[in-house]
Amino acid sequence: MKHWKPTPVLRRRFDFDRKGMPLLVWVLGLILVATFVEVWQATRVSEITLQIDRAEKALSQAEARQSYVESQLAATRTRPALAALARRIGMKPAEPEQTVIVPATYLAGAELPEGGGRTLVAFARRVGDFLVPSARARSRH
């Protein structure tokens, strides 16, 4: 079997085959790309600066609003403001017979000693714990 071999053809070289891009074109292209990158970066920096300015303005407005609301809250927490509010909703000061003194051990969540106190009081406490178990004060551990 005979193998086919291509026959070499001599051809004439043209000018565009011998020369690549001239150095001047490369330099001009590089200058154009560098200029484009510089303008793009300057535009991006300006855009980011505007975003920062908008964020700072929004922050200063939020801080001003917060200080205004805090001052309003402080004004409504004064004794005269609370007294006026209590009168408006119909509250009145507690009378001495309405005051109940609760032992500190009960408020702290500690168990009361079973032997202490009278039998009727201990029974009432057990009944109260059974009927309303969430009424007991719990410790904050």
Q: What is the mean pLDDT of the chain?
A: 81
Give the pLDDT confidence score for residue 141 in this predicted structure.
Answer: 45
Can you tell me the mean pLDDT for 99-122?
Answer: 67
Q: What is the structure's pLDDT at 100?
A: 80
pLDDT of 112 reads: 53
Question: What is this structure's pTM?
Answer: 0.43
pLDDT digits (tens, 9 = 90+) for 26-65: 899 999 999 999 999 999 999 999 999 999 999 999 999 9
Q: When comparing pLDDT for 66 and 111, which is higher? A: 66
The radius of gyration of the chain's CA atoms, rounded to the nearest angstrom, is 45
CB-based contacts of 109: which residues, under 8 Å, 6+ apart? 136, 137, 138, 139
Give the span between the Cα atoms of 48 and 55, in whole angstroms. 11
CA distances to 46, 68, 109 from 58, in Å: 18, 15, 48
The predicted pLDDT at position 116 comes to: 52
- At 79-106, the pLDDT tens digits run 888 888 888 999 887 788 888 887 777 7
